[in-house]
Amino acid sequence: MAEPPGSTLRLDRLPPVRVEGAALRVVELPLRSPFTTSFGTQTVRRAVLVECRGDGTTGVGECAAGIEPAYSSETVGTALGVLRDHLVPGVVGTEPATVADLLGRVAWVRGHHMARAALEMALLDLAGRAAGISLGEVLGATSDRVAAGVSIGIQPSLEATYSLIEGYLAQGYRRIKLKCRPGYDVELARGVRAHFPTTPVMLDANSAYRLGDAATLRQLDAFDLMMLEQPLAHDDLVDHAALQRELRTPICLDESVESVADARAAIQLRAGRIVNIKAGRVGGLIPAAGVHDACRAAGWPVWCGGMLETGVGRAANVALAALPNFTLPGDTSASDRYFEADILKEPFRLQPDGTLLVPTGPGLGVELDPSRVAAATQHHEVVA
């Protein structure tokens, strides 16, 4: 039998770096339209940015956590506190060290994956900039562009949903994800399929159902959906496995996979057939590559999720999505899907072929626009 494919990571290409100082920033950008899921409505993206200074440059990382502990237990507030009190002080120092060594110094911190991932992103950006190597090269990217899907929130009417889908398809998006919840599911899928018979469509429930809803969810099998994302509880695998046995539609796990260990358990239990990988949820880009590798070895396709990131987090998502087993379009939409003005000098644009280009410059490969950052900043503190 052929060896399972191994890790794509090339961390050895990054030189040791010295983190001379660090700061935390909270930015807030209004969303162009409210985003409603089964757990609530968001009108802004508020995000913690970690800034690590050293070797004549600055690395930046974006934290995926949102304002409320609804999608996950982490929030902007918890991330700020853990980064300030525990994570950042662990990596600031006088001697150069590799990114792996720096992260090893804070490996004792349990949980707080999104906070840790933001620090990891800043360190990878810093070391990549210092070495002139792109994040994609370090992660093992094998494509120069990634297929873009779009995630559409719960709308006031089915007609409103259809017209949004038409607009995004006209722009070139390659897959449509629709948020659903009990009572806004089977008719949604039926109506969308009738209007868009061949469009790649999927639903995302954000944990709104229980196993007892299996009979309702089984009706979705009639509509040739690409997948049903996270139907059951955020911390469940066993019931997802039972539900998958009853559904023809593939289940995609999101909230339930917070680590490589979770991914391995999901695969062993057959709790689904696909994983949505978000670096923040699993504690960083390095563990995200590990989830990718575990899924690849098991024959499970993956795709890159989104947390309404600014261009900073988007750059990291797009680099991650360029790994070889990211074979499905991700929630990696262009900047103008979310914001009037991103905080980058050059926003991410949808290409005519329905892709985003993977940045090739050093580190994240994007430049912040200082005036936009200043205008979006609500809070800034020097930590070390």
- The set of catalytic residues is 179, 278
Q: Which of residues 189-228 bind ligand SMG (CB under 6 A)?
A: 204, 206
Span near ligand SMG by CB under 6 A; candidates 21-29, 94-102, 300-308, 340-348: 300-308
Is residue 252 involved in binding ligand SMG (CB under 6 A)? no
Write down the least CB distance from residue 282 to ligand SMG, Å.
14
Is residue 178 involved in binding ligand SMG (CB under 6 A)? no
Task: Point out which residues pair with 202 in neighbouring strands.
Answer: 177
Burial class (CB in 10 A: 0-12, 13-18, 19+), 12: exposed
- Cβ proximity to ligand SMG: between 62 and 254 the closer is 254
Write down the least CB distance from residue 276 to ligand SMG, Å.
6
The H or E element containing residue 51 is: strand 40-54
- Cβ proximity to ligand SMG: between 126 and 173 the closer is 173
Write down the least CB distance from residue 73 to ligand SMG, Å.
14
Pick from 36, 42, 78, 244: which binds ligand SMG (CB under 6 A)?
Answer: 42
User: Nearest 5 degrees, angle CA 291-CA 295-CA 300?
Assistant: 145
Write down the least CB distance from residue 252 to Mg ion, Å.
8
Contact 237, 265 (CB under 8 A): yes
Position closest to ligand SMG via CB: 306
**Interhelix angle for 186-195 vs 158-171, to 10°?**
50
Contact 32, 340 (CB under 8 A): yes
Is residue 331 involved in binding ligand SMG (CB under 6 A)? yes
In the three-class reduction of DSSP (H, G, I as helix; E, B as strand; rest coil), residue 230 is classed as: coil
Per-residue buried b or exposed e for 313-339, using 16+ beta carbons within 10 Å of the residue's own CB: bbbbbbbbbbbebbebbbbbbbbebbb
In the three-class reduction of DSSP (H, G, I as helix; E, B as strand; rest coil), residue 177 is classed as: strand
Span near Mg ion by CB under 5 A; candidates 81-89, 188-196, 204-212, 343-351: 204-212
Is residue 146 involved in binding ligand SMG (CB under 6 A)? no
Q: DSSP letters along 57-119, please?
A: EEEEEE---BSSSSSSS-BHHHHHHHIIIIIHHHH--SS-B-HHHHHHHTTTS-S-HHHHHHH
Is residue 204 involved in binding Mg ion (CB under 5 A)? yes
The residue behind tokens 């919840």 is: 181
- Cβ proximity to Mg ion: between 66 and 136 the closer is 66
Task: Point out which residues pair with 151 in neighbouring strands.
Answer: 177
Pick from 55, 120, 125, 254: which binds Mg ion (CB under 5 A)?
Answer: 254
Q: How many amino acids of this chain bind Mg ion (CB under 5 A)? A: 3
Q: What is the binding site for ligand SMG (CB under 6 A)?
A: 35, 37, 42, 66, 71, 151, 204, 206, 254, 305-308, 331, 333
Q: What is the binding site for Mg ion (CB under 5 A)?
A: 204, 229, 254
